[in-house]
Amino acid sequence: MLSTTTTLKPALTPLRWEARTLFLLDQTQLPLSTVWHSYTTVEGVVEAIQTMVVRGAPAIGLAAAYGMVLAFQQVINTETQWALVLEALKPLATELNASRPTAVNLMWAVQQQWQLLQQAALQELPLEQALKALEANAVTLHQQDVEANQRMGALGASLLPAHARLLTHCNAGALATGGYGTALGVIRAAYATGKCSHVFADETRPRLQGAQLTAYELMYEGIPSTLICDNMAASLMQQGRIDAILVGADRIAANGDAANKIGTYSLAVVAHYHQVPFYVVAPASTFDGELPTGTGIPIEERSTQEVTVVNQQRLAPEGMNVYNPGFDVTPAHLITAIITPDVILKAPYAAGISAWLGNRAEGLAVTTV
């Protein structure tokens, strides 16, 4: 008699925290090599964020939360008084905070950890105890991110028709988050419940997160999928072959304008023209309630080499001018809904976002609206 055995693959994760060391999966080397680097200093974490060893808004935020633990540990090796500790920590936290400009999850995580330390300082907690609290908070933020992604997955999947053909841009999967994924989390949940029959992944020029990371994740999960160049998405929509588009976000303003990987805005415009639902999937840490509209979102400009050089080979002539913004802003009116862990937000966004964030701050139960 034949017997079958099922081997469960380990869940993909971009980061691990073990023995006060941060381990980051080097995303610049995927899918060809699986290389983990270890970090015991905040300076190392800053470099990892800047060089995109770790990338994706929520994953950057979590790396920063652990980075704050490393920074604090470094400082209390030499300083023993709270006032001096905070003074020495400030420039390290500031540098970490500024390591990439667009993903607000980074600033959110640094702020969460800084606030915890200010409370600890007020209470004059022993420094080693504060270090343990800071570490425990980073681990909690990490767990909460994975749980939030799973909730967004279930909520988002509920919006989709059966056997939907979906399109995504950049990488908003397990590797861009604490695990499971935002937009790709919805796709995973939809596939698991028979609501997704096929996924098209944009390659996402210039850094190719779609070709390298989303394609890898989709194949890892066994989800039927096809890789396309970014300029092929409009034609697929014109042919009626896309039922919905799902993307993540790096920062969402109070009015619902959403910054995400460059190319997202053009997808939203084309989706609007072809009446394809366009969904943004993001946890609370991606919302910037302080910014009234998306025009205030700082957009990272990246190296010209990302455009002129492919596979270490120069394509464009030397001296050619290059424009290379890493992100663009999709205006709220082009977004069909924003899927969060607690609510599916629809226009008008400003009121919904403010009520939802307010409820969260007060710790009230929130339900789908």
Catalytic residue numbers, as ranges: 250
Structure tokens at 30: 């995927």
State yes or no: residue 251 binds ligand MRU (CB under 6 A).
no
Total of residues contacting ligand MRU (CB under 6 A): 17
**Stretch touching ligand MRU by CB under 6 A, among 139-147, 248-256, 330-338, 347-355:** 248-256
CB atoms within 10 A of CB 40: 14
291 Cβ contact partners less than 8 Å away, ≥ 6 residues apart: 251, 253, 254, 297
| Closer by beta carbon to ligand MRU, 177 or else 225 | 177
State yes or no: residue 188 binds ligand MRU (CB under 6 A).
no
Do 256 and 291 contact (CB within 8 A), yes or no? no
State yes or no: residue 260 binds ligand MRU (CB under 6 A).
yes
Selected from 73, 113, 137, 182, the binder of ligand MRU by CB under 6 A is 182
CA distance 318 to 308: 9
Q: Minimal distance in Å, beta carbon 205 to ligand MRU?
A: 12
Residue 154 C-alpha from the chain's centroid: 18
Q: Is the dihedral of CA 83, 87, 92, 96 positive or negative?
A: positive
Selected from 13, 73, 209, 225, the binder of ligand MRU by CB under 6 A is 209
Q: What is the DSSP string of 176-229?
A: GSSSSBSHHHHHHHHHHTT-EEEEEEE--TTTTHIIIIIHHHHHHTT--EEEE-
Do 327 and 263 contact (CB within 8 A), yes or no? no
Selected from 261, 328, 342, 353, the binder of ligand MRU by CB under 6 A is 261
Do 167 and 202 contact (CB within 8 A), yes or no? yes
- Map the footprint of ligand MRU across residues 45-74, applying CB under 6 A: 55-58
| Closer by beta carbon to ligand MRU, 82 or else 191 | 191
Selected from 176, 199, 208, 236, the binder of ligand MRU by CB under 6 A is 176
Q: Minimal distance in Å, beta carbon 275 to ligand MRU?
A: 23
Residues at the site binding ligand MRU, with contacts judged by CB under 6 A: 55-58, 103, 170, 172, 176-177, 182, 209, 248-250, 260-261, 326
